Structure 1
Amino acid sequence: MRFSHSPEVWRGFPALVSGVLATDGITPDTAVADRLAPFHDMARARLAESAEGEFPETQAWRRAFSAMGLKPTQYRCASESLLRRFRKEGALPSIHPLIDLCNAVSLAYAVPIAVFDVAHVADFLEVRPATGTETYTTFAGAEEHPEPGEIVFADASGTAHARRWTNRQAATSAIRDTTSSALIVAEALHDSARGDIESVITALADELAAIWSTGAKSAILSADQRAFEY
C-alpha cells in the first residue's frame, strides 16, 4: 500500500505537513475513556480561551478551503467541526475505540485526522484533484460523484474515500467492528504544522501501543518527502 499527495496538491499548498501512521491488531472491545480524558482536557483549555474559529490551525484550513472555491463556514475541516460540537455539547459520542482516540487527539491539537480501514482501499490512497468520475458513498448509502478539481482521497479503483479534502469521509473505508488494520492521516497547514504533526503522530503511536499493544509504522510527509509505503 502507498499513501501520497499529488503534485497538484503540493504545488497549491506547499506549507502542507502530513503525518501518516499504519497499524494493525485493532479490536472493537477495548475501553479507552480514561486514555482520552487528557486530550479532551487539552481541548477544553484551549476553547476556554478562544473559539475554534480563531485557532491558527483552523484559520489555515479556512484559507485553504477558500482557495479551493469553497465557503469555509459551510464546508468545515473535520477538526473544526469536531471542536465546534465539543464546545457546544461538552463531549463527543463514542463510535469505535480507534475513532474515539483519533477524534480526541484531533480535538487536542486542532488538526483533522482521517482513519481508514485499509481492507477496503484498493492498492493505494492518493490525495488529488478529482476527475469527476470517482464514486463516493455516503453513510446513508447514497452514491455521489465529486466535482472535477475537488480534492479527494482516491484509490486505484476510482473510489473517493473522502470529499473536499478534510471535510467529509466516505462510508466505504469507515472503521467498523471488523477492522483490524488501519491507516491514520493527520494534516496541517499552519505555521507550526511540522512540530504539531510530529506531536500528533507521537501521541497516536503511544496510545496505540498502550491500548492495543500494537506497533505502528509512521512518517511525516512534506514537500521533501511525499509518499509513505506501508
Structure 2
Amino acid sequence: MQKIIIDKEFWDIFPEVEIAVMTAHDVNNHDDSHVPDDLIQNANEIAKKWVPDDPISANPVVKAWRDAYRKFKTKKGARNAVENLLKRAKNNKGVGNINPIVDVYNSVSLEYAFPIAAEDLDKLVGDVHLTVAKGGEKFTPIGEDEIEEALPGEVVYRDDQDIISRCWAWRDSARVADTDDTKNLLFYMENIQPDRKADHLAAADALKTRFHDYLGIDINDVTILSRDNPEFVFAD
C-alpha cells in the first residue's frame, strides 16, 4: 500500500491549506484524437483574467503564493508553478502543446489558477510526503542533469528515494515526471486561499471531466486532503 501523507511539519506552517488528490490509470498518452485542438490556446486566454494588474505580484492569486513562499526557506527566485503559467499567458507567450496528459492538466491549471502536479505513479518509491526538508535531500529537476540538494526548512514533496518536487510546487523531479509512455498517474493540486474553496472543487471536477471526455479515463477517487484528513492511498 502506498499513500500520500501530509506531515505535521507542513500543517504547522499552513494549517488551512487543502489539497485535491486523485489517480488516473491505463492512460494512453499517445492518443490525442479527442483532445480539442484549441484546448491550450483557449486556456491561455482564459488565464489572463487572473492576472489583469501590473505588476503580476499585485494580483490576489499570485500574491497569496508569494506570501506563502515567504514562510519557508526557498531557493532564490523560486516561484509557484502556477505563477509561471499565468505570467506566460499574461505576456502572450502561453504554454504550447506537449502531450495529451500535460495538455489536459495544464488547461485546468491555467483556467482555474491552481498548480497541478502529475507524477508517474509507477515510478514512485514508497509513500509520498509533503513535508519540511532537513537539508541535503537529493533532487534532479526536469531537463537538467545536475543533482541539487534541498535547503533546511524547505517545503518539499518526497518519496522514499528522494525529492519529487522542490520549493513545494516549483519544480518537479525528472525521475517521476510523466512521459509519452506513462500509464498511471498521481495528481495533486493545492489551494492556499480558503475563500477559493469552490474554485478548487470546480478545478478538481474539471480535471476529472476532461480525463473522461478527452482521454477516456474515469477518475473516481478525487479526495480533498486537509489537516483533519492528511492521507490518501494511491496504490494497494
Q: In 1, Cα distance between the equivalents of 2:16 and 2:148?
A: 30
Which segment drifts farther, 4-13 or 96-105?
96-105
Q: In 2, Cα distance between the equivalents of 1:171 and 1:71?
A: 18
CA displacement 1:84-137 (0-9 Å, x = unmatched):
112213421222211122122111111111110011111211111112242211
TM-score (norm 2): 0.89
Matched, 1:2 2:3: yes
Equivalent residues of 2:106, 2:116 under 8 A apart: yes
User: What corresponds to 1:228 in structure 2?
Assistant: 232
Q: Which secondary structure does the structure 2 equivalent of 1:3 belong to?
A: strand
User: What corresponds to 2:31 in structure 1?
Assistant: 30
CA displacement 1:29-51 (0-9 Å, x = unmatched):
2332344455334213444x335
Q: In 2, Cα distance between the equivalents of 1:12 and 1:135?
A: 23
Q: In 1, Cα distance between the equivalents of 2:128 and 2:115?
A: 17
Q: Matches of residues 12-31 of structure 1 in structure 2 within 5 Å?
A: 12-31=13-32
User: What corresponds to 2:100 in structure 1?
Assistant: 97
Q: Matches of residues 121-200 of structure 1 in structure 2 within 5 Å?
A: 121-138=124-141, 139-157=143-161, 159-200=162-203
CA displacement 1:130-173 (0-9 Å, x = unmatched):
1224221122121111112211111122x100101011111111
CA displacement 1:10-59 (0-9 Å, x = unmatched):
11101201111111122222332344455334213444x33543332221
User: What corresponds to 1:68 in structure 2?
Assistant: 72
Which segment drifts farther, 116-125 or 132-141?
132-141
Which amino acid in 1 is paired with 2:15? P
Equivalent residues of 1:58, 1:110 under 8 A apart: no
TM-score (norm 1): 0.91
Q: Which secondary structure does the structure 2 equivalent of 1:101 belong to?
A: helix
Q: Which secondary structure does the structure 2 equivalent of 1:102 belong to?
A: helix
Q: In 1, Cα distance between the equivalents of 2:190 and 2:178?
A: 19
User: What corresponds to 2:46 in structure 1?
Assistant: 42
Q: In 1, Cα distance between the equivalents of 2:50 and 2:62?
A: 13
Which segment drifts farther, 33-42 or 199-208?
33-42
Q: In 2, Cα distance between the equivalents of 1:96 and 1:219?
A: 25
Which segment drifts farther, 170-179 or 139-148?
139-148
Q: Which secondary structure does the structure 2 equivalent of 1:89 belong to?
A: coil
Which segment drifts farther, 110-119 or 201-210?
110-119
User: What corresponds to 1:209 in structure 2?
Assistant: 212
Which amino acid in 2 is paired with 1:227? E
Equivalent residues of 2:50, 2:61 under 8 A apart: no
Aligned-residue sequence identity (percent) comes to 26
Q: In 1, Cα distance between the equivalents of 2:75 and 2:166?
A: 14
**Count of aligned positions:** 227
Equivalent residues of 2:40, 2:95 under 8 A apart: no
Which amino acid in 2 is paired with 1:13? F
Q: Which secondary structure does the structure 2 equivalent of 1:115 belong to?
A: strand
